[in-house]
Amino acid sequence: MSSSRWDPWSDIVTLREAMNNLLEESFVSRPRPGGESGQPATSGLALDIRETPDAYVVQASVPGVSPHDVDITVLGDRLRIRGERRGGTEEQGENGRWILRERRFGAFERTINLPTAVKSDAAVAEFKDGVLTITLPKAEEAKPRSIPVRGGQQAIGESGGVSKSQSGESQAQTTQPGSQPSSPA
């Protein structure tokens, strides 16, 4: 019967590796092998979204991507951007090898829910210097509206103020000390 000695440090190293894997999967955007249902792996797409009174403006950095390789769809309040970065050739030549390769290639996709519905037929997408800018006008029911408050006017008595004449026009009444209020003509 062989006995092995328990090493407490082996468990700590395993815990450290598990934490590293967890943090990498949570915060580092990288393609995951084997997408859903046998689809190719996709990576995330970092977005900036700004709200104006009339629209949402979405910006995404997609350097090296042709505008023809980007597909944008809008349904209600859901925006989906997907595309593909076409990679360089894998061949290095006769004696070449990669020293460092950090640029990512392949499919990317991002779907987000906007706070309100948008007018998809009035949406505009522009592509300039590797930055995709999408302007999504808000639907009319999503825009804030100012509602006027109506109220009646009161006639103010002998001390002066505003009263209504028979024609409905407001006239100011002023009272001087020791004098009678003037009557409207």
pLDDT digits (tens, 9 = 90+) for 69-95: 999 999 888 999 999 888 765 555 556
Share of the chain above pLDDT 70, in %: 63
Share of the chain above pLDDT 90, in %: 26
For residue 113, the model assigns a pLDDT of: 92
For residue 3, the model assigns a pLDDT of: 74
For residue 55, the model assigns a pLDDT of: 93
42-89+99-144 topology per CATH: Immunoglobulin-like (2.60.40)
Mean per-residue pLDDT of the chain: 74
For residue 170, the model assigns a pLDDT of: 47
34: left (phi over 0), alpha (psi -120 to 50) or beta: left
Residues 6+ apart with CB under 8 A from 107: 40, 41, 42, 43, 82, 83, 84
Closest to 69 in 3D by CA, of 121, 41, 107, 125: 107
Residues 6+ apart with CB under 8 A from 30: 24, 43, 104
Strand-pair category, 106-113 with 42-43: parallel
The pTM of the whole model exceeds 0.75 = no
Residues in the chain: 185
Residues 81/69, Cβ–Cβ less than 8 Å: no
How far is the C-alpha of 174 from the C-alpha of 160, rounded, in Å?
5
Closest to 78 in 3D by CA, of 144, 136, 142, 141: 136
pLDDT bucket at 165, cuts 50 / 70 / 90? very low
Write the DSSP assignment of 81-105 as a string of letters: EEEEEPPPPS---SS---S------
How far is the C-alpha of 66 from the C-alpha of 68, rounded, in Å?
5
| Helix/strand/coil for 21 | helix
pLDDT bucket at 33, cuts 50 / 70 / 90? very low
